[in-house]
Structure 1
Amino acid sequence: MTNFKRWRMGVLLSFMSTWALASGHAAEPRHGGTLTVIAQPEPVILTAALSTSSPTGFFSGNVFDGLIEYDREFGLKPGLAVKWGLSEDGKILTLNLREGVLWHDGEPFTAADVKWTLENVWQKYHPRNQALFANVERVETPDDHTVVIHFSKPSLAILSSLNSNGAQVLPRHLYEGTDILNNPYNNKPVGTGPFVFKEWSKGNHIVLERNPHYWDEGKPYLDRVIYRVIPDAGARTAAIEKGEVQYAFFSPVPARDAERLSKLPTIQLETKGYEWLSPWLFLDLNVEREHFKDVRVRQAIYHAIDREAYKRVVWFGFGKPAISPVVSTLATFHDASVPQYPYDPAKAEQLLDEAGLKRGADGTRLRIHLDYLPYGEEFRRSAEFFKQALKRVGIEAEIRTQDTPTYTRRIYGDRDFDVTVQWYSGFADPLVGVTREYNSDGIGKNIPFTNGPGYRNEKVDQLIAQAQSSGNQDERIQLFHAFQQQVQKDVPSLPVLELEFFTLHAADLNDTVTSVDQIYASFKNAWYTDPSKR
């Protein structure tokens, strides 16, 4: 069996889904109409090649195409690459690119764009791809439509992340020789995708229009996509209910409102299209703080959290208590035998006592700050839930609220925090989305959504490096099991919940889910039953 086939088998086993294929539509797709989408929180940057934040991701996939697309069962489909092949030893990946594709400014898309982006963006700035493409020795472009990537060691995880979000290609002619991180096209993006960027009125809206020269003939069907910034949860609920917004994702309204809205004949609730993400929510503990250097304190906090109650109270049942950063739906890689920390306040108190954090006269052992990712009401309510959980064992937490830029700078730049509520996507392979949380190479680089705790463990770094370079999938599975055992023993980060996001959309909007990574893909297949009404 070739390495490519082993990789495919591993992915399929990891992501076997219970969904049934949606029944076909009686009518053919129709052109026309404007789709209004909620963008909350508002993206900080519009180019996913330089940011892995979810607000950037769910916008950017409409402007940029991926080299490869995924179907509804994790199969690979042509995108900007029409063919691909991995050598038997896993060290050479050949991509045959689609001919006749144009950037939105009319310049041709070529292999030079892929080579330049890999060498100058993915390897240098992308939080996940720095590790994913670390073993690249050289990139050859024998012609304008062929890319040959040579690896010093096998990199089996690559094919799990060549979509628009995982490996977004930038136009070399607009970036080469510039300050990449401050290039103005980061916020007025030029892609090859189904929609063309037109306007970003910060704090209000982002406007995209149909690409008339799109390579996928006849698509997209929609004329326009407008992203509206609606910070207030109540206002989002009202906008969806009134039909002012036709699409809203990443659990856009309080879960208690979602059930009511989904019962209306004009609205549908969908939980598909997030499978590629493998998301989990966790608490990061800053292990550079003196009190969190003691593993007993970290374990005590884990024992203080009732994960079942948290799922029920904050997320209204959407999700599953987590025991590892590799979520259970990643069945091939998930290790259910990791050290466990069940809800046990008495055990938490015992560990805190043993660590020398005795209750004071007022019953308080420790005072900390508790920050949370400002991505919506559930994260604020999460902070409140964890504050009460910690208070019961004598830890007083002061909740801090801030916008996204301030939050990311505080956690990953200034490292001025004690505990934070965060979530990441694990994606189709732990190397793509999980190991960034624990690899010490990411500390101190001010790269958002990497190693927040500041955790350093030489054994863990070695396990990650071995999994990154192994050409044997069975060996990689064992390495990731050992990785989970170690990080769940050290618990610098506390996995709390395997997230289950939902989408709300207008009932007359069709084909909103055509892939397992739909949430980061495009609306090129979406269409209205009667576009004249939209």
Structure 2
Amino acid sequence: MITRRQFVKVGAIGVAGLGLFRPGAPAVAAPARGGTLTVALIADPRSLDPHLTGNLQGRATVRAIHDSLLAVDEGGNLAPMLVERWEQPDPRTYLLHLRPGVKFHDGTDFDAEAVIYNFKRIQNPDISSIRAGEIKVLESMEAVDSLTVKLTLQYPFAAFLYALTDVVGCIGSPAAFEKYGKEQSGLNPVGAGPFRFVHYAQDTETVLERNPDYWDSERPYLDRIILRPIPSDSTRLTELKTGGVDIAEELPLQNIAGLRNETNFAVSERIGFRWEYFSFNARSEYPGSNKKLRQAFQWAIDREALHRAAYFGTGSVGYSAILPGNPFYDADYAPFSFDQDKAKRLLDESGLGSVEITTYLRPEAVKQRAAQIFQSMAADVGVKVNLEQVDYANHRNKLFGGTLPLDLHGWWGYRPDPDQYLSILLQSEGSYAKAFACASPEMDALFLQQRGELDPGKRKQVFDQITAGVSDDSIYIPWHYSSDFKGIGKRVQGFVHKPDSIIDFTRISVTA
């Protein structure tokens, strides 16, 4: 039995969630119906349009309003959602058999034409959907009948269906999209999910209510959800401690050790939530264009020291872009160690002589700490790194404009298939690959190979080659796997800590 005085780690392998138990309570209790759940988010959702939302808070809210076509089960496998079952008659074709009797919140029918409408909207350049790249492999779409969608791909793509488990697979009402247009759809979301949209006030709250016509008559249990953006760590923590919120996102890392003994709430940790890296711009005008210099930093950084100082010992050291718990992850892969002499030899071999790099930081406490440690370690091997402060917009513009010499903020959150993020970082058409000039014909060939390989064992062999290529090229310097922490209040039952950190509100109930 887990009590609230214990610190709960939720691993990426085996146990997939957190069951909250109280002394004297039965191990399994029927969920209570009704009530309001209040959640402290770290940021405003920004947009509730599934085709335009970007941050985790937007994705979480969108997925409460819109069911996705498919889901991921606790073992990391594809599972039914709006799609009841699927077939793959050949390597390029999928037949999606939709759940019958589902209605959007405006009363219109969820059917094959609605699915195709959503995909075409994502592809429409006038919408400028940030999700377009996730379905660019689609060659054609057809409504075989009202509940069957035929998707034909340009080439075999083993990871394709995994994209449909997130917001790209969240299907909105075509009638609502037509009514509100691009500008207003993000403020008037209409899905077929467990909760209906009620109210949004920017930087204040988003309110959702139970969908009484949800296709799963057993769920959800809650009547209402209030999502409050609270950027301040200390304020979120205070709200959790005093009962102002029932769940709080991203508990401050420096407080985790002390919070283990809290009695008013439980601390839940999901290991392997995201991969952290430093990355060099390989464009010819920057020092990072020199491969020997990049390789030197694989040895120049003390990953253990970074782990302790930047993350207060939470999470774990990492050497690969594949997250723990993924079937393609290799727990024994650790090709580098902290070796300043080797780093200095590689810098000598670079022929660059004195090296100075000026780069830019966003206002993020963890990354600021990591950057300052990186700066010190670079100085120890003779490289001067200057740090300048910019806001989020300027940093993003420099990153995707290809003018960021060194990215000390690099990270990518959990996705069920590594192709979903590694292609963006490494493949020729990927936005990060373009920004850092790191694509190569060899890497492109490996991506095509793993996409066309339907045997998981053979796909792993290709991912092993991709991992080795990332290590050798050293544009991306992996150093850490961070954990996601949430505070769970006493009233909350049925919380399951998902690998991507996004809360499944359908499972949660609250006691009086």
TM class by smaller structure? 0.7 to 0.9
Conservation of the 8 A alpha-carbon contact between 1:111 and 1:141: yes
In structure 2, relative to structure 1, the CA distance for the partners of 1:229 and 1:211 (3 Å cut) is same
3-state SS of 1:30 partner: coil
Shift of 1:20: 8.3
Conservation of the 8 A alpha-carbon contact between 2:275 and 2:481: yes
Shift of 1:424: 0.6
Describe the superposition over 1:185-236 as per-residue Cα deviations: whole angstroms up to 9, x where unpaired.
Answer: 1343222222222333222222222223222214322222222222222222
Structure 1 match to 2:468: 485
- Asked if 1:267 corresponds to 2:265, the answer is yes
In structure 2, relative to structure 1, the CA distance for the partners of 1:119 and 1:413 (3 Å cut) is farther
Shift of 1:127: 5.8
- Asked if 1:287 corresponds to 2:277, the answer is no
Conservation of the 8 A alpha-carbon contact between 2:33 and 2:509: yes
3-state SS of 1:353 partner: helix
Q: Distance in 2 between matches of 1:414 and 1:177?
A: 38
- Asked if 1:506 corresponds to 2:496, the answer is no
Describe the superposition over 1:369-414 as per-residue Cα deviations: whole angstroms up to 9, x where unpaired.
Answer: 1324x5x532332223223322333334343444544433331246
In structure 2, relative to structure 1, the CA distance for the partners of 1:105 and 1:284 (3 Å cut) is farther
- Asked if 1:470 corresponds to 2:453, the answer is yes
Structure 1 match to 2:62: 60
Structure 1 match to 2:98: 97
Conservation of the 8 A alpha-carbon contact between 2:360 and 2:389: no
In structure 2, relative to structure 1, the CA distance for the partners of 1:213 and 1:518 (3 Å cut) is farther
In structure 2, relative to structure 1, the CA distance for the partners of 1:336 and 1:26 (3 Å cut) is closer
Structure 2 match to 1:529: 511
Structure 1 match to 2:361: 371
Conservation of the 8 A alpha-carbon contact between 2:423 and 2:430: no
Conservation of the 8 A alpha-carbon contact between 1:254 and 1:378: no
Shift of 1:528: 0.9
Structure 1 match to 2:300: 304
- Aligned-partner residue type, residue 37 of structure 1: V
* TM-score normalised by length of structure 1: 0.83
Q: Distance in 1 between matches of 2:132 and 2:14?
A: 27
Query: Which deviates more, 234-243 or 163-172?
Result: 163-172
Q: Distance in 2 between matches of 1:213 and 1:382?
A: 48
Gaps of 5+ in 2: 1-10
What is the RMSD computed on CA atoms of the aligned residues? 3.0
3-state SS of 2:58 partner: helix
Q: Distance in 1 between matches of 2:483 and 2:423?
A: 21
* TM-score normalised by length of structure 2: 0.86
Structure 2 match to 1:30: 32
Conservation of the 8 A alpha-carbon contact between 2:281 and 2:406: yes
Conservation of the 8 A alpha-carbon contact between 1:371 and 1:417: no
Conservation of the 8 A alpha-carbon contact between 2:16 and 2:498: no
Describe the superposition over 1:238-295 as per-residue Cα deviations: whole angstroms up to 9, x where unpaired.
Answer: 222212121123xx232231232342222111124x77xx520111222224211001
- Asked if 1:345 corresponds to 2:347, the answer is no
- Aligned-partner residue type, residue 151 of structure 1: L
Describe the superposition over 1:39-69 as per-residue Cα deviations: whole angstroms up to 9, x where unpaired.
Answer: 2133343344334532322332211111122
Shift of 1:341: 3.2
In structure 2, relative to structure 1, the CA distance for the partners of 1:208 and 1:135 (3 Å cut) is same
Alignment of 1:310-349 (within 5 A): 310-332=306-328, 334=330, 336=332, 340-349=335-344
Shift of 1:366: 0.5
Conservation of the 8 A alpha-carbon contact between 1:49 and 1:170: no
- Aligned-partner residue type, residue 29 of structure 2: A
Q: Distance in 1 between matches of 2:482 and 2:240?
A: 22
Shift of 1:417: 4.7
Q: Distance in 2 between matches of 1:41 and 1:380?
A: 19
3-state SS of 1:354 partner: helix
Conservation of the 8 A alpha-carbon contact between 1:284 and 1:420: yes
Q: Distance in 2 between matches of 1:74 and 1:199?
A: 33
Q: Distance in 2 between matches of 1:522 and 1:426?
A: 16
Q: Distance in 2 between matches of 1:432 and 1:518?
A: 13
Conservation of the 8 A alpha-carbon contact between 1:66 and 1:163: yes
Query: Which deviates more, 432-441 or 23-32?
Result: 23-32
Q: Distance in 2 between matches of 1:432 and 1:221?
A: 32
Conservation of the 8 A alpha-carbon contact between 1:279 and 1:498: yes
- Asked if 1:79 corresponds to 2:81, the answer is yes
Shift of 1:75: 4.5
Q: Distance in 1 between matches of 2:484 and 2:176?
A: 36
Shift of 1:141: 0.8
Q: Distance in 2 between matches of 1:270 and 1:240?
A: 13
Describe the superposition over 1:284-333 as per-residue Cα deviations: whole angstroms up to 9, x where unpaired.
Answer: 22222421100112122332211111111221222221111123432435
3-state SS of 2:115 partner: helix
Q: Distance in 1 between matches of 2:301 and 2:105?
A: 50
Q: Distance in 1 between matches of 2:194 and 2:209?
A: 9
In structure 2, relative to structure 1, the CA distance for the partners of 1:451 and 1:37 (3 Å cut) is farther
3-state SS of 1:82 partner: strand
Shift of 1:172: 2.8
Shift of 1:26: 4.1
Q: How many residues are aligned here?
A: 494
- Asked if 1:438 corresponds to 2:426, the answer is yes
In structure 2, relative to structure 1, the CA distance for the partners of 1:177 and 1:199 (3 Å cut) is closer
Q: Distance in 2 between matches of 1:470 and 1:178?
A: 42
Gaps of 5+ in 1: 1-13, 360-364, 444-448
Shift of 1:368: 1.1
In structure 2, relative to structure 1, the CA distance for the partners of 1:31 and 1:452 (3 Å cut) is farther
